[in-house]
Protein backbone atom coordinates (compact mmCIF):
# COMPACT_ATOMS: atom_id res chain seq x y z
CA UNK A 1 0.00 0.00 0.00
CA UNK A 2 2.89 2.39 0.63
CA UNK A 3 3.80 2.20 -3.05
CA UNK A 4 0.42 3.75 -3.89
CA UNK A 5 1.03 6.84 -1.77
CA UNK A 6 2.19 10.00 -3.45
CA UNK A 7 4.24 12.54 -1.57
CA UNK A 8 3.85 16.24 -2.24
CA UNK A 9 6.59 18.55 -1.11
CA UNK A 10 5.15 21.96 -0.45
CA UNK A 11 6.29 25.03 1.38
CA UNK A 12 3.69 26.15 3.87
CA UNK A 13 3.53 29.31 5.89
CA UNK A 14 4.30 28.45 9.53
CA UNK A 15 1.03 30.12 10.57
CA UNK A 16 -0.87 27.76 8.29
CA UNK A 17 0.90 24.75 9.77
CA UNK A 18 -0.01 25.93 13.28
CA UNK A 19 -3.62 26.45 12.23
CA UNK A 20 -3.78 22.99 10.66
CA UNK A 21 -2.34 21.48 13.84
CA UNK A 22 -5.02 23.20 15.94
CA UNK A 23 -7.81 22.18 13.60
CA UNK A 24 -6.54 18.62 13.46
CA UNK A 25 -6.60 18.38 17.26
CA UNK A 26 -10.14 19.86 17.38
CA UNK A 27 -11.35 17.26 14.88
CA UNK A 28 -9.67 14.33 16.60
CA UNK A 29 -6.84 13.77 14.14
CA UNK A 30 -3.42 12.90 15.53
CA UNK A 31 -1.54 14.89 12.89
CA UNK A 32 -2.18 17.87 10.64
CA UNK A 33 -1.31 15.68 7.67
CA UNK A 34 -4.14 13.24 8.48
CA UNK A 35 -6.49 16.19 8.86
CA UNK A 36 -5.47 17.68 5.52
CA UNK A 37 -5.87 14.34 3.76
CA UNK A 38 -9.34 13.86 5.26
CA UNK A 39 -10.37 17.42 4.51
CA UNK A 40 -9.18 17.27 0.90
CA UNK A 41 -10.88 13.92 0.37
CA UNK A 42 -14.16 15.20 1.79
CA UNK A 43 -13.97 18.43 -0.19
CA UNK A 44 -13.23 16.57 -3.42
CA UNK A 45 -16.21 14.27 -2.85
CA UNK A 46 -18.53 17.20 -2.09
CA UNK A 47 -17.28 19.14 -5.10
CA UNK A 48 -17.89 16.13 -7.37
CA UNK A 49 -21.47 15.80 -6.09
CA UNK A 50 -22.15 19.52 -6.54
CA UNK A 51 -20.70 19.52 -10.07
CA UNK A 52 -22.86 16.51 -11.04
CA UNK A 53 -25.97 18.19 -9.62
CA UNK A 54 -25.16 21.41 -11.48
CA UNK A 55 -24.67 19.52 -14.74
CA UNK A 56 -27.98 17.71 -14.24
CA UNK A 57 -29.78 21.00 -13.53
CA UNK A 58 -28.23 22.61 -16.61
CA UNK A 59 -29.32 19.68 -18.78
CA UNK A 60 -32.86 19.85 -17.38
CA UNK A 61 -33.01 23.59 -18.02
CA UNK A 62 -31.86 23.13 -21.62
CA UNK A 63 -34.42 20.39 -22.15
CA UNK A 64 -37.22 22.63 -20.85
CA UNK A 65 -36.07 25.53 -23.02
CA UNK A 66 -36.01 23.30 -26.11
CA UNK A 67 -39.52 22.04 -25.33
CA UNK A 68 -40.77 25.61 -25.05
CA UNK A 69 -39.09 26.74 -28.26
CA UNK A 70 -39.90 23.73 -30.41
CA UNK A 71 -43.44 22.49 -30.98
CA UNK A 72 -44.09 18.75 -30.87
CA UNK A 73 -43.21 18.44 -34.57
CA UNK A 74 -39.65 19.57 -33.94
CA UNK A 75 -39.73 22.67 -36.14
CA UNK A 76 -39.08 26.10 -34.62
CA UNK A 77 -42.13 28.31 -34.34
CA UNK A 78 -42.24 31.32 -36.60
CA UNK A 79 -41.77 34.52 -34.65
CA UNK A 80 -44.46 37.19 -34.70
CA UNK A 81 -41.99 39.63 -36.32
CA UNK A 82 -41.68 37.43 -39.39
CA UNK A 83 -45.44 37.13 -39.85
CA UNK A 84 -45.92 40.90 -40.28
Other C-beta atoms within 10 Å of 53: how many? Answer: 10
Note the pTM of the prediction, 2 decimals. Answer: 0.60
Q: How many domains does the chain have?
A: 1
Residue 75 has pLDDT above 80, yes or no: no
In a domain, 1, yes or no: no
Residue 47 structural domain: 31-62
**What's the pLDDT band for 1 if we cut at 50, 70, 90?**
very low
In a domain, 5, yes or no: no
Using alpha carbons, list the distances in angstroms from residue 24 to 7, 28, 29, 32, 33. Answer: 19, 6, 5, 5, 8
In a domain, 37, yes or no: yes
In a domain, 56, yes or no: yes
19, 8 in Cβ contact below 8 A? no
pLDDT at 63: 94
In a domain, 53, yes or no: yes
Amino acid sequence: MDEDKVQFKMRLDPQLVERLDRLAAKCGYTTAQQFVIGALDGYAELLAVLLRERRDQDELLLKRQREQLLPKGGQPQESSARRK
